[in-house]
Chains A and B, each alone.
Chain A
Amino acid sequence: MSAGSLRLGRYALNGAAGLSLGFILMPLIFVTWLAFFRQEIPSFPPEGYSLQWFAAAAKNKPFIDGFLLSLQVGVAATLIGLALGVPASLALVRHRIPLGPGVSTLLLLPLVMPGIVLGTATYVFQIEIEIATEIPVLGSLLGLVAAHSLVVIPWVVRLVTASLVGFDRSIEEAAQNLGAGPFTTFWRVTLPSIRPGLVAAALFGFVTSFGNLEMSLFLVGPGRTTLPIAILQYLEWKIDPTVAAASLIQIVLIGVAMIVTDRYVKLSRVV
């Protein structure tokens, strides 16, 4: 291939990459822009700019309550997801367990399953449990957390498994040789060594849970809505930029979390 056509190819590739990136960023740019519009009904060009919608979002009780609930559910689901996903990953990587590949696929399934399907299935399942045990599961915080753990687990399994595959087991043997029992070895040597995978798993798991709408729609109870649902409900009545402001706050929070995390573990290296 000649140098000219090689350069042409590179331009084409860069152009395509730029186009894709622009396409991905477009909604983000518009939401950001919209959040600062002065008028209530979004129209272009804007009549002027203001910060009033941020104040409105911060005063909106459903948003505040939704944010707190989403935070609660996200943290709890992430912790449960880690507690279940890490041992599962260890078992999958280290031991020849029966139907290993099948189990592995099963654990990743919630990631590819459409949210509506997952939501319906969980909804029906929780109703059945409620009928069988007479414990009010549906609409409870517990039910919501349990369901959200389901979407955290695939992230944990995927990222922790990846960290464990390249892990030199002789360092665990070294710890045992130096007098550490199995638990101490795990806590002091294994876990710290797969920390980047753990942190990334926690971050992505949390974000997935925090932003989940489809599944939560089936499972929230009266007076108990997560932030995505609160936003959706608000949009049913109004289309003013309060929603854009609330979204922007979310985007900034998640962005900050990612940047801070990236300082400690290079996310691009584990994901």
Chain B
Amino acid sequence: MARLSISHLKKIYGDFIAVDDVDISVAEGEFLVLLGPSGCGKTTTLRMIAGFIPPTAGSITIGEQDVTNLPPWKRHCGLVFQSYALFPHMTVAQNVAFGLEMHKVPQAERGPRVAEALRLVRLNGFDERYPRQLSGGQQQRVALARALAMEPKVLLLDEPLSNLDAKLRLEVRVEIRELQRKLGLTTIMVTHDQEEALTMADRLVVMEKGQVRQIGTQRELYERPADRFVAGFIGRSAFLDGEVTAPGLFRTAGGLDIACAAASVPGPATLALRPERIAVGAEVEGLPNRFTARVEHASYLGALLDIQVSLDEHDRMLLQIPNRAGLIEPKPGESISIGWAEDAGLVYPRGA
């Protein structure tokens, strides 16, 4: 296993910038997830690492070797495709052995290594089956075994779970993560599924429009999102537009003054509040920011209630209340008191 670093990576198609000056480094044995909406450049980045797309500029280093100009077959990174891409005319064992054969592993060594790879993904005994005789989940595991058998320097996963049904996805998530940890694989996974990313990653890279918005752990991304996009993309946020009038003071578009520790530089800005940080009803007692809000819409989500409220005609926001015993569900049109602490919100200058 090796570390991987990408510096100033860029890919331009005509006048479309698919990947814009991306810098990422992955430590040995780390599980890094590239996360973002479709078209954000995450898959293009992964395919540049695998060598299928030549970068317009920048460099990629695996271990100590600069691989930027190496063809895919000399990069030694195992890629698990979204479609699995198993060879349909070969058995499971032949599929897994293919990489070993290409890397000129002696015949005598191949058998045990294929068996070992299949054992890791719990598919021993499936050697002689053909891919079409396997379920989606099994095919996915063969693809993983095939990538692992050649002992790649890094493991690349391209939305590996998106073709599995919801229940299986949860299982395979855990399996891949455990295997990755056990083998100490340096891994980069691409996904657009936020929950998947949060459960599997050591660190996440949030991308949008070809650029890296933020790199960090789950906690860092959730609690200190670098910009408004990340605040809205990782978890949910209520956004109030307005301006910072003085350090510590934010005024909404509707003219409400809010005490906010994060407000520093005066100017147009957006205040982002996590729904669970907003107190409701009797709990607002003693909080610096207290308002009466009108319920617009309430949705029952089981463990939580999602409530859309308006503070005035300009300012709307989302709250989440835990579904505790004895809770009286607010009805649209009712007034409720809400409030939050001074340190609850994050402020992003607008236009940035």
Given A173-B52, A173-B81: A189 touches B73 (CB 8 Å cut-off): no
- Residues of A within 8 Å of B82, CB to CB, are 170
Q: Are B88 and A193 in contact (CB under 8 A)?
A: yes
Across-interface contacts of B169 in A (CB, < 8 A): none
Residues 194-240 of A contacting B (Cβ, < 8 Å):
195
Q: Which of B51, B52, B71, B99 meets A178, CB within 8 Å?
A: B99
Q: What distance in Å separates the Cβ of B287 from its nearest Cβ neighbour in chain A?
A: 54
Residues of the B chain whose Cβ atoms lie less than 8 Å from the Cβ of A177:
50, 72-73, 75, 77-79, 147
Task: Tell me if B72 and A189 are in contact (CB < 8 A).
Answer: no
Q: A180 CA to B99 CA in the complex, in Å?
A: 8
A209 to B186, CA, bound (A): 57
Residues 80-128 of A at the B interface (beta carbon under 8 Å) = none
B89 to A179, Cβ gap below 8 A? no
> Contact between B103 and A173 (Cβ–Cβ < 8 Å)?
no
Q: Tell me which residues from 152 to 209 in chain A have a Cβ below 8 Å from any Cβ of chain B.
A: 168, 170-171, 173-181, 184, 188-189, 192-193, 195
| C-alpha spacing A184/B74, complex, angstroms | 14
Contact of A179 among B50, B73, B85 (CB under 8 A): B73
Contact between A170 and B99, CB atoms less than 8 A apart: no
Collect the chain B residues with CB atoms within 8 Å of residue A174's CB: 79, 81, 85-87, 146
A171-B87, A184-B102, A193-B88 are known contacts. Are A179 and B81 too (CB-CB below 8 A)?
no
Q: How far is the CA of A174 from the CA of B72 in the complex (A)?
A: 10
- Residues of chain B within 8 A (CB-CB) of A195 are 89
Smallest CB gap from B74: residue in A: A179
Q: Does B72 lie within 8 Å of A168, measured CB to CB?
A: no
Q: How many interface contacts (CB-CB < 8 Å) are there between A and B?
A: 67
Q: A171-B88, A193-B89, A195-B89 are in contact. Are A179 and B83 (CB under 8 A)?
A: no
Tell me, in angstroms, the Cα distance from A174 to B83 when the chains sit together.
10
- Interface residues in A, total, Cβ within 8 A: 18
Q: Given known contacts A173-B72, A174-B81, is B87 in contact with A179 (CB within 8 Å)?
A: no
Residues of B within 8 A of A168 (CB): 83, 85
From residue 5 to 34 of chain A, which have CB atoms closer than 8 A to chain B?
Answer: none
Q: Are A173's CB and B73's CB within 8 A?
A: no
Q: How far is the CA of A54 from the CA of B253 in the complex (A)?
A: 101
Q: Is the beta-carbon distance between B73 and A176 smaller than 8 angstroms?
A: yes
Q: How far, in Å, is A177 (CB) from chain B's closest CB? A: 5
Residues of A within 8 A of B76 (CB): 179
B78: chain A residues at CB < 8 Å are 177-178
B150 at the interface (CB under 8 A from A): yes
A178 & B85 in contact (Cβ 8 Å cutoff): no
Pick the most buried of A179, A180, A189: most chain B CB atoms within 10 A of its CB. A179
> Among A168, A175, A176, which residue has the most Cβ atoms of chain B within 10 A?
A176
- Closest B residue to A173 by beta carbon equals B52
Instruction: Give A132 to B312 CA distance when docked, in angstroms.
Output: 94
Within 8 Å CB of B75, what residues of A?
A: 177
In Å, the complex CA distance between A99 and B35 comes to: 41
How distant is the Cα of A195 from the Cα of B81 in the complex, in angstroms?
23
Quote the shortest CB–CB distance from B134 to chain A (angstroms).
Answer: 15
In the complex, what distance in Å separates the CA atom of A179 from the CA atom of B52? 13
Chain A neighbourhood of B150, CB < 8 A: 178-179
The residue on A at minimum CB distance from B103 is A179
Ordered nearest first, which 9 A-B pairs have the shortest CB separation? A179-B102, A178-B99, A174-B85, A170-B85, A176-B72, A192-B89, A177-B79, A171-B85, A176-B73
23 contacts between A and B (CB under 8 A): A168-B85, A170-B81, A171-B86, A171-B88, A173-B72, A173-B85, A174-B85, A174-B87, A175-B87, A175-B98, A175-B102, A176-B71, A176-B73, A177-B50, A177-B72, A177-B75, A177-B79, A178-B99, A179-B73, A179-B103, A180-B73, A192-B87, A193-B87
